[in-house]
Structure 1
Amino acid sequence: MDKFEQALAKVDGFIAQYPSVTQYEKLKELEEKTGHSKVYFFVGALSLILSLIYVTGGMKLASDLVGFLYPAYMSFKALEGGKTVDGDATQWMTYWVIFSFMMLLESTFPLARTVRFFHLIKIGVIIWLYHPQTSGAQVIYSSVVRPNVQKFAGAKKTE
């Protein structure tokens, strides 16, 4: 099996794993009617959506969507079910505090956006914040936010 076929198999596994998000049944119907792989339709639709996002809102919109869509979905799951695969409600609340602060800084210091590849860097930082293997939001909260807020709030430091 060559690399292209391996990539197709991975995408096929992904769309089968999340049937409600990827509209798996509709993709299967298209595959049966046309004889072309459902993976091609999925990749084509995804490419079209990403192109429209880029054309209409640019990288700012793309980075804001990366920072909002998945975390909002996981926050909803955490609120509805108590625990999620990637952590609990506390992890997502921590993410939203850090993300909100980041957005505030971005709007307060617009010159930051003049940095080359700012939005690509922002996307990387956002993914680092919420990715379960890195939990960057927890790192920033415990090392920067919590100690400084405790100084002003007068709370005792607990570990």
Structure 2
Amino acid sequence: MPVPPQVQKVLDDVDKQLHEPSTVTNVLATVEQKTGVKRLHLVLGVVGLQALYLIFGHSAQLVCNFMGFVYPAYMSIKAIESSNKEDDTQWLTYWVIFAILSVVEFFSVQIVAVFPVYWLFKSIFLLYLYLPSFLGAAKLYHRFVKPVAARHSGSIDAKIGNFADRVNSAAGKLANEVRDHME
């Protein structure tokens, strides 16, 4: 059965990445050489096992959130340290979408009860958000978040300013009361 062209492109991109010099690809090259199994097939096997664990595993939520946090956090640190502004924008955009997803996910207990493969789909979605071949976070941001933020930024800024004024006023009153009691 032939592989659809979109899937073949992803497989080719992954295989290309698996042949670029790095610590991980060096380990994969050694395993490939000793077992005779192509490194792409090794990675696909690990991905398949990971997918099964995300469906049936006891700590699937932890593993999924680990996937959505550790690599992006590491890449964000690298972006902060680089002089390139584009990678900063990419990772800030990812974290905005990740934060929105985290708020929506407050209802995950109910979602998982009805949709048991939720953690697998969330993991795939997180990969879509941050992998360079997709950059889904930027697509979602420009399609959904940016228009909403632009439309409501004036009222949001005013409410934040109003809230900040209230907090400053309350803090001032509290400081005065503490001073009065101390005297």
| TM-score, normalised relative to structure 2 | 0.54
Is residue 63–residue 119 contact of structure 1 (8 Å, CA) maintained in 2? yes
Match of 1:14 in 2: 17
Match of 1:139 in 2: 143
Match of 1:154 in 2: 158
Alpha-carbon RMSD across the aligned residues, in angstroms, is 3.8
Deviation of 1:24 after TM superposition, in Å, equals 2.2
Equivalences for residues 59-98 of structure 1 within 5 A: 60-61=61-62, 63-83=64-84, 87-98=86-97
Is residue 54–residue 64 contact of structure 2 (8 Å, CA) maintained in 1? no
Deviation of 1:151 after TM superposition, in Å, equals 0.8
Which 5+ residue runs of structure 2 have no aligned equivalent?
160-183
CA change 1:114–1:137 in 2 (3 A) is farther
Deviation of 1:147 after TM superposition, in Å, equals 3.4
Is residue 77–residue 83 contact of structure 1 (8 Å, CA) maintained in 2? no
Deviation of 1:71 after TM superposition, in Å, equals 2.9
Provide Cα deviations, 1:4-52, integer angstroms capped at 9, x if missing partner. Answer: xx89x835433112633xx222333334334x13424444444445544
Which 5+ residue runs of structure 1 have no aligned equivalent?
none
Deviation of 1:123 after TM superposition, in Å, equals 4.7
Is residue 54–residue 120 contact of structure 2 (8 Å, CA) maintained in 1? no
Is residue 71–residue 92 contact of structure 1 (8 Å, CA) maintained in 2? yes
Is residue 64–residue 120 contact of structure 2 (8 Å, CA) maintained in 1? yes
Deviation of 1:103 after TM superposition, in Å, equals 0.8
- Identity, % of aligned positions: 27
CA change 1:83–1:139 in 2 (3 A) is farther
Q: What count of residue pairs does the alignment treat as equivalent?
A: 145
Aligned partners of 2:128 and 2:48: how far apart in 1?
Answer: 24
